[in-house]
Amino acid sequence: MMKKHTVFIIDDERLAREELKMLLQAIEMVELIGEASSGEEAKRLLPSLEPDILLVDINMPGMNGIEFVKGLNNPPYVIFVSAHEDHAISAFSVGAFDYLLKPINPSRLMESFNRILHDEQDDWDSAKEQPLEKKKLTITDKVYIRDGEKSWFVPLTDIRLFESDGNYVKVHFHQNKPMLLRSLNSFQELLDPHFFFRANRKHIVNIEWISSVETWFNGGLMVELKTGEKIEISRRQAIRFKENWGI
């Protein structure tokens, strides 16, 4: 049976929330786990729910949808819903996965959810680029990475961080951060979990590059890399981190 993706709705209009709930009932792959009428209310509820997908209105009193998402540390998939087209650029600048116009077209909503499913199941290899083979990579392997006119043959030991950025992933090594048109999940499937840890929805960290770990809010952890970069480990992943490395 396919795992259902949990969804949380944030919209100040009750009728808009009811319309979305009705549309979600017809989609088997998702499960509604909560709703909020403002960004402030959502921030109080989300830490205990940890939904996979947020459906977020943009024009709301007080904190608008863009400000709300921008303030999240480890946002899940975000689909903005709005009656206006002119916020799309701002929406994608804060990492939106999709942008839907009200009234919501049911087939368009389904298309967005299917894209999320495809994003999670995607392989690193693509028709355009094949930087790695479909196999588990050990820490001693080297990978070929190409970004535009530049290319590198990089030992995995030198890659300290994989960072999701929209539909791309930044690969951090030395002073370089090339962007690959791949999903973070597809990277995770290929990397040795003894050395590369999924810290949150946006980051995979090379354990060898961690210099310190401290407790953080809501049961999470904050790790600092040898470069000084700080990455938050979500509450859910913090449990696994502690189990794996005896903290």
Mark whether 155 and 96 lie in a shared domain.
Answer: no
The Cα–Cα gap between 233 and 215 comes to 10
Domain membership flag for residue 106: yes
Mark whether 147 and 50 lie in a shared domain: no
Confidence (pLDDT) at 128? 36
How many domains is the chain built from?
2
Contacts of residue 27, defined as CB under 8 A and 6 or more positions apart, other chains included, come to 109, 110, 113
What residue type is 179 in one-letter code? M
3-class DSSP state of 185: helix
Q: Are residues 14 and 110 in the same domain?
A: yes
Nearest partner of 36 among 50, 59, 54, judged by Cα = 54
Q: Is the pLDDT of residue 10 over 90?
A: yes
Q: Bigger pLDDT: 177 or 151?
A: 177
Burial 86-115 (b: 16+ CB within 10 A, else e): ebeebbbebbbbbbbeeebeeeebeebbee
Instruction: Report the predicted TM-score, pTM, of the whole model to 2 decimal places.
Output: 0.55
* Res 122 pLDDT > 90: no
pLDDT tens for 88-119 read: 878 877 888 888 999 999 999 998 898 887 76
Question: Beta partners for 29?
Answer: none
Q: Average pLDDT of the chain?
A: 86
User: Is 132 part of a structural domain of the chain?
Assistant: no
The verdict on 103 and 148 lying in the same domain is: no
Q: Are residues 166 and 218 in the same domain?
A: yes
CB 134 within 8 A of CB 117: no
Domain range for 170 is 142-245
Supply the CATH number for residue 103's domain.
Answer: 3.40.50.2300
Beta-bridge partner residues of 55:
9, 79
Question: Is residue 129 in some structural domain?
Answer: no
